[in-house]
Structure 1
Amino acid sequence: MTVIGFLSTAPVVEGSMAGEVAKAVDALDAFDVEYETGPMGTTIEAADVDELFAAAQAAHEAIDADRVSTVLKIDDKRASDAPAAEKVASVEEHLGREARGGD
């Protein structure tokens, strides 16, 4: 089974959050997950929901701030092991092109 999550965690501060977000992303390396970070959050793939929760919790706790905001969205498709890349490929097949815009 593959569980896919979308994690967005950041300190609630003025100015750049990049250093603290980097700590959160770095914390994911301690877990048996695949991940890809984008400008609005990180897609995480894990074998099961327990590993996904553990990785997300570690990322949340890695941020050193008085206030931390975290959102975790989970896709737990229990009848299939399709990875996130396969979902993107399916959309691209229907588009007939890469799922990217702009330059």
Structure 2
Amino acid sequence: MIAAFSVTPLGIGEDVGEAVAAAVKVVRASGLPNRTDAMFTSVEGEWDEVMAVIKQAVEAVKPFANRVSTVIKIDDRVGVTDGLHTKLASLERHLAPEQHVTVD
């Protein structure tokens, strides 16, 4: 499964970078395949291990704020591995300009 999630400390102002970095460090240390962008961190693995990592990421943010907001989107598809890469590869393949062969 792939889970895309964001963990946001509430009530500490606009600069949440340090708190979010604490959550991302947990994900990266987990050893699970992951990717972080400007809005979400995606992590891939079995249900229990992914949910455990998300819980640990939330716990890593709690020292920064009394209130933490967590958003999670899950793609749980049987038989799929390396979905972080294969889903993007498929998208890029569809975005690539068509290769036209010209015959002189």
TM-score (norm 2): 0.82
CA deviation digits over 1:10-67, x for unaligned, max 9? 1013120000000111112442411111110101111x10000000000011012111
Task: Name stretches of at least 5 consecutive residues in structure 2 with no aligned partner.
Answer: 98-104
Aligned residues: 94
1:32–1:51: 8 Å Cα contact kept in structure 2?
Answer: no
The residue aligned with 2:6 is 8
What is the rounded CA distance, in whole Å, between the counterparts of 1:80 and 1:33 in structure 2?
15
The residue aligned with 1:101 is none
Task: Name stretches of at least 5 consecutive residues in structure 1 with no aligned partner.
Answer: 98-103
% of aligned pairs identical?
36
Runs of 4+ residues over 6 Å off in structure 1: none
When residues 79 and 34 of structure 1 are mapped into structure 2, their CA distance, relative to the original with a 3 A threshold, is: closer
Q: For the pair shown, which has the larger CA radius of gyration, 1 or 2?
A: 2
1:81 aligns with 2:73: no
